[in-house]
Chain A
Amino acid sequence: MKLNFSIYRYNPDVDNAPRMQDYALEVEEGQDMMVLDALIALKEQDPTLSFRRSCREGVCGSDGVNMNGKNGLACITPLSALGKGKIVVRPLPGLPVVRDLVVDMSQFYTQYEKIKPFLINDDKHPPAREHLQSPEERAKLDGLYECILCACCSTSCPSFWWNPDKFVGPAGLLHAYRFLIDSRDTATDARLNDLDDAFSVFRCHGIMNCVSVCPKGLNPTKAIGQIKSMLLQRAV
């Protein structure tokens, strides 16, 4: 069985403009494989093809790409899920391309850095061993801490495309909420102050692209809604 691919190619050192290159891959009839495995096989045909990968099991978030128009992790997306036609693979949209499927994620990480993704606790009398949480307090972090920062969500968000320097983006905001509701964190007000402008949070219009592409099944839109509620409650 022959599988056809069309893959985005661009090497800024050599190419004047990006182009789509066709590839074909022979696989056994009925055999399925992940997109990453197919890319690795294609790289054996053409060693100049570039993409990121690491854990190859959906944990590291390195191989986020756009497959047939939808962002996802190549390592956990089976070819069978992409239909029978030609498979189009492009880099994550909105970010500058370093080469082929490799994007420059500086803007994404800058926004992540802005939300101070670490516990802040200015308690004058810290516990001798650790900050304990009740099971209920811990449960609030479920659906938030699992984010692996693959950038599939932020790069599927038009608000992030248009204002990547001001809108924190779904991934950053999911993490922001994770620290806002952490019972051990004491910087809630300072964190909300940092988010209280017209862009950082409120540029989200709730179109839920982030939810539809998240490879971990998380719901950034819900977290953003919770942050908006916290900002609203603080203002009234």
Chain B
Amino acid sequence: MVTEQASLKRNGVQDFVTLRATALIITLFSFYMAYFFIATPVITYDVWVSLFSGIFMKVFTFITLVAIMYHVKIGLWQVLTDYVKAPGLRATIQYVLNIIAFVYVVVGLFVLWGVK
């Protein structure tokens, strides 16, 4: 069973709002990218670089990466509390997954700002 320390201290309303707010950002980014792929006849490396070289796209992508991190953090906590009942194992898996989600943001940040 999920202990109170690992669960009830979380704020349900905050998680609910955060999940939806981040989902909105992820959806907008997905639509934007879908539009880009549809509207661009030939996608070359130069086209791809020019897309991410503007400050708008850098910031938009970075915000999306942060949104994905929070979305994943809450979503996986919900999945783990459903399926992993051993507190130690759940905490370990959650710790590792949270670090992976954070690493995605950091790597994404370096990649984005490396585009000239």
Interface residues of A (CB under 8 A from B): 158-159, 162-163, 165-166, 196-203, 228, 231-232, 235
Contacts and interface: CB of A to CB of B under 8 A. Distances in A.
Contacts of A203: 78
Contacts of A228: 16
Contact of A199 (B7, B13, B16): B7
A202 B1 contact: no
Main secondary structure on B side of the interface with A? helix
Q: Which of A165, A197, A201 counts the most B-chain CB atoms under 10 A from its CB?
A: A197
B13 A231 contact: yes
B17 interface: yes
B82 interface: yes
Interface in B10-30: 10-17
B82 A197 contact: no
A199 B8 contact: yes
B10 A197 contact: yes
B12 A197 contact: yes
26 contacts: A162-B82, A162-B83, A163-B81, A163-B82, A165-B1, A165-B2, A166-B1, A196-B12, A196-B13, A197-B8, A197-B10, A197-B12, A198-B7, A198-B8, A198-B11, A198-B12, A198-B15, A199-B2, A199-B8, A200-B12, A201-B12, A202-B13, A202-B15, A232-B13, A232-B17, A235-B13
B85 to A, nearest CB: 9
Contacts of A197: 7-8, 10-12
A166 B81 CA distance: 11
B4 to A, nearest CB: 9
A169 to B, nearest CB: 14
A96 to B, nearest CB: 14
Nearest to A164: B1
Contacts of B82: 158-159, 162-163
A163 B81 CA distance: 8
A68 B1 CA distance: 30
A200 B7 CA distance: 11
Given A159-B82, A162-B83, A163-B82, A199 B1 contact: no
Contacts of B15: 198, 202
A196 B17 CA distance: 14
B7 to A, nearest CB: 6
A201 B8 CA distance: 12
Interface string B83-114: 10000000000000000000000000000000
A29 to B, nearest CB: 48
Contacts of A196: 12-13
